[in-house]
Amino acid sequence: MTVTLADVAVRARVSPATVSRVLNGNYPVAASTRARVLRAVEELDYVLNGPASSLAAATSDLVGILVNDIADPFFGIMAGAAQTEIGGQEGSGRAGGEKLVVVCNTGGSPERELTYLTLLQRQRAAGLVLTGGALEDPAHIAAMSAKLGRLAEAGTKVVLCGRPPMRVGSTVVAGVASGAGGVPADSGNDAVLAALTFDNRGGARRLTEHLLALGHRRIGYVAGPTERTTTRHRLEGHRAALAEARAVGVADVDEVAEQERLTVHGPYSRSSGYDATLELLRRAPDLTAVVAANDTVALGACAALRDRGLRIPEDVSVAGFDDLPFSIDAVPALTTVRLPLFEAGARAGRLAMGREDAPPGGIATIEAELMARASTAPPGAGRGRKRNP
């Protein structure tokens, strides 16, 4: 049975006029009331119908960019580049002006991510760019699949930037096959125009191979949140390098159980890097290198080592990931893996605007480049090191 605006009003305990105001955004509504209406929309899976559906199928001049944390340069660089490509094109709007770009900061919340998608659907967004890794939760993935399918059916161009392709059933496509919304998966109407995915595994593997080549065997790893694809892929690359080293006879490389002990998970933050590194030093006082989930985490790791009276890299080498702008200016300059964040964001913007063709199969893997700098060196130079209590 088709859900109506009146049904939403009953569920939210408001008038139909209030529901209309919330969905159209054309009149002030109390925050608590707005939240109640949007929750009812989600629960009932309300979709505009009748005359309104013809409006929903016509895209507006709005383009949304979803980020986990706008204060994190990883997301800010991609969003800024995409916004430049989308909003800076005169004549791209329906009336000859520019597209309006809205950056939606989810704070890493899956609920907020879905809410923003609903709001963008209501505003008939012309394009959508989703940045960064995805949450590995089956229920959330299914909800995202349905949301993206409905956006695509309404004409929204959906692009994933730095986010891996999504799986629908046993099929992996550029994004979400429209079969997730009830349309046959072979209908050719995919919900995602393109997925620009970073080679996180390959970059992490090359980084750990670099440390192994320098002679490091006791390597601590400060990982990101366990539920994120980026975390898993980078950790898999790190451990693949260690496994290969053992396979070719490097007998003193830590076994799998010890690698688990030398891995600490936490947020992608400086404080997480600091606390996790202190924990690694407690678990393994003889470690000679720390690999951090990203450059921000690496800064925290460096601070923790210095507070324990350890020199970088003479006593402990440190490496990060992403090659954020501050990495080369750190002291010592940070060894890291460069992801072309600006270039990826700009390409996503062009794809969302229809000014660049989608890659073959809808998926493009963006290579990661090792940037070996002064924060890594062979172990042993600081023998006889002393730690502060």
Q: Is residue 156 part of a domain?
A: no
Is the pLDDT reported for residue 388 higher than 60? no
Cβ-based neighbour number of residue 262 at 10 Å:
19
Q: What is the pLDDT of residue 34?
A: 83
Q: For residue 296, how many C-alpha atoms fall within 13 Å in the half-sphere facing its CB?
A: 14
Judge whether 86 lies within some domain.
no
Domain presence at residue 65: no
Would residue 135 count as lying in a domain?
A: no
Cα–Cα nearest to 308, from 330, 335, 281, 348: 281
Tokens 């480049």 -> residue:
369
Any domain includes 314:
yes
Element (H, E) at 318: strand 317-319
Give the number of other CB atoms < 10 A from CB of residue 119: 18
Confidence of residue 48 (pLDDT cuts 50, 70, 90): low
Integer Cα distance of 207 and 240 in angstroms: 11
- Domain containing residue 327: CATH number: 3.40.50.2300
Which range (37-46, 90-99, 220-229, 357-366) has the least confidence? 90-99
Return the higher-pLDDT residue of 56 and 106: 106
pTM to 2 decimal places: 0.80
| E runs forming strands in the chain | 62-67, 100-105, 127-131, 157-161, 167-168, 171-172, 194-198, 219-223, 263-265, 289-292, 317-319, 336-338, 363-366, 369-371
Question: What was the pLDDT predicted at 178?
Answer: 33
Predicted confidence at residue 25, as pLDDT, reads 63
- pLDDT of 51 reads 42
Q: Is residue 101 part of a domain?
A: no
Q: Is the pLDDT of residue 284 over 60?
A: yes
Between 26 and 271, residue with greater pLDDT: 271
| Domain interval for residue 244 | 200-338
User: Looking at the 3D structure of the chain, how many domains does it have?
Assistant: 2
131 pLDDT more than 70: yes
The mean of the pLDDT values for the chain is 86
Q: Quote the tokens at residue 357.
A: 């063709």
| pLDDT digit string, tens, across residues 307-365 | 999 999 999 999 999 999 999 999 999 999 999 999 999 999 999 999 999 999 999 99
| Lowest mean pLDDT, pick from 185-189, 219-223, 237-241, 351-355 | 185-189
CB contact set of 91 (below 8 Å; sequence gap of 6+): 97, 98
| Residue 328 belongs to a domain | yes
- Answer yes or no: are the C-beta atoms of 216 and 317 closer than 8 Å: yes
In a domain, 242, yes or no: yes
At residue 182 the predicted structure's pLDDT band, cuts being 50, 70 and 90, is very low
Whether residue 368 contacts residue 337, with contact meaning beta carbons closer than 8 Å, is answered with: yes
Residues 6+ apart with CB under 8 A from 238: 204, 205, 207, 208, 221, 291
